Amino acid sequence: MASLSLSSSILPMLMVVLMCSHVRGEQGSYHKINIHSLLPTKVCSSFEESASLNFTRLKVTHRHGPCAPLHSHPTPLHEQILEEDQSRVDSLHRRIAAAATSAKLDRQRNSQVGSKIPVRPGSSVSTGNYVVTVGFGTPKRDQTVIFDTGSDITWIQCQPCVAYCYEQRDPIFNPSASSTYANISCSSTDCSDLDTSGCSSSTCLYGVQYGDNSFSIGFFARDTLTLSPTDVIPKFPFGCGERNRGLFGKAAGLMGLGRGKVSLVTQTYQKYGGVFAYCLPPTSSSTGYLTFGAGYPSSNVKFTPMLTDASTPTFYYLSLMAISVAGQRLPISAKVFNDAGTIIDSGTVITRLPPTAYSALRSAFRQAMSSYKTASALSILDTCYDFTGHSTVSIPTVALQFSGGVTMELDLSGTLYFGSQSQVCLAFAANGDDSDVGILGNVQQKTFNVVYDVSKKVIGFGPGGC
């Protein structure tokens, strides 16, 4: 069976928090922090939910942290986390470049013969490390899944495992025990909506393969999806994987939140209006949330236009216009960002910038941090500091400016990647070329209420979401 090719990513477990104040000095704006607040903790600090909520809110956890139901396996090294993140980014860039090339060839063919050949990407993206728990089937069986805005299909492991399944925390879903499970026919339009599909005795098959050679293959089916006791989605299309292999951290599978036809966002459009929101917690030892529908906290959310690239319809594009450090806008031409384009992705760890933009950011950040001892690079992160012996440090603020007048002043946990007290790094990296698409990664999204409204074609950011 043909398959998509995706790349894998694991999120950093240890990130900077929180006991920090925001101060403004002569040289601009800084975070002043107690260095001891950077130290990791093994205790879960849950996000407090209001008892008056009138909408469904799923708890979001980092799969390697103490709050996660999957927290039982060794935490990967930072080098592994960042190397796998680079793999995901490389796969994203290959997919986008291949899709653009295919679209160009299609236009040439159309002008010659008047026919249109469907564009299907030759690769796709891997999964991130934030998880939620939902129910599949009747009676429902809880499954902890990774949610990913860079993927469309939702899939879980299913019995019987033909040849192999990877180890997961929850019992593997048994479709024969669900009274509402039904396979999808090959002749169904749902089957043709898949990027990659096959047939077995007129039953639709799906297949996804990731950049690290992880994969899932099985039946494309429908069953009841339960988000909460009062939020139930009947006949939800998903992949029931009987051949699965990969480093999914004991998660049962993946929840696809992309913009494609088979994604959860599209399939529930009538119910939720194409609206969902999440807040990624500041550290792996705290929790965030994922919501569906218009009931998200909205008092301080500012919206920027959601852009579309027809050749890669899964992804959410937005227009990054400028970057500021310590309150000072960097001298980067808007053309640098416009030529590359930018997507927002829940599964990429570190934000990637065009090299010209990253060089300006790095230079300004290093200048503002010149009083601190530098440290060796940590994998793809080349601007690191040794805070050994310091009780407090002052970190310049970093702000991203998007079209529509939206400024995203990053939380401290969205500015630094904490390897250890002797190796704390600027959490940005450069792409290989100015033409490569930029990516707003999940580190920079931390603590923001990030809102996706497909119907209005906007993406919102609200600080202090969790």
Q: Which residues of 162-180 are buried (b: 16+ CB within 10 A; e: fewer)?
A: eeebbebbbebbebeebeb
Q: What are phi and psi of 305, to 5 degrees?
A: -60, 140
Beta-strand runs (E) in 195-345: 197-200, 203-210, 215-228, 231-245, 253-256, 275-279, 288-292, 302-305, 316-318, 320-325, 328-329, 342-344
Q: What is the largest CA-CA distance in the chain?
A: 72
Cβ count within 10 A of residue 377: 12
Question: Which helix (H) or strand (E) element contains residue 304?
Answer: strand 302-305
Burial label, 441 (beta-carbon count in 10 A; 0-12, 13-18, 19+):
buried
- Distances in whole angstroms, Cα of residue 352 to Cα of each of 110, 361, 459: 35, 12, 19
Helix (H, G, I), strand (E, B) or coil at 335: helix
Residue type, 55: F
- Which residues, 6+ apart, have CB-to-CB distance to 352 below 8 Å? 89, 428, 429, 430, 431, 436, 438, 439, 441
CB 221 within 8 A of CB 242: no
Dig out the tokens for 78 from the structure.
């930072």
- Which residues, 6+ apart, have CB-to-CB distance to 55 below 8 Å? 291, 292, 293, 295, 296
- Residues 70, 61: Cα–Cα separation, whole Å: 9
- Distances in whole angstroms, Cα of residue 223 to Cα of each of 196, 197, 200, 231: 20, 19, 19, 14
What is the set of active-site residues? 148, 345
Site of tokens 């927002």: 344
Q: Mind giving me the DSSP string for 351-379?
A: EEE-HHHHHHHHHHHHHHTTTS-EE--BT
- Residues 88, 91: Cα–Cα separation, whole Å: 5
CB 5 within 8 A of CB 150: no
Dig out the tokens for 154 from the structure.
């939702």
Question: Which helix (H) or strand (E) element contains residue 142?
Answer: strand 141-148
Residue type, 181: Y
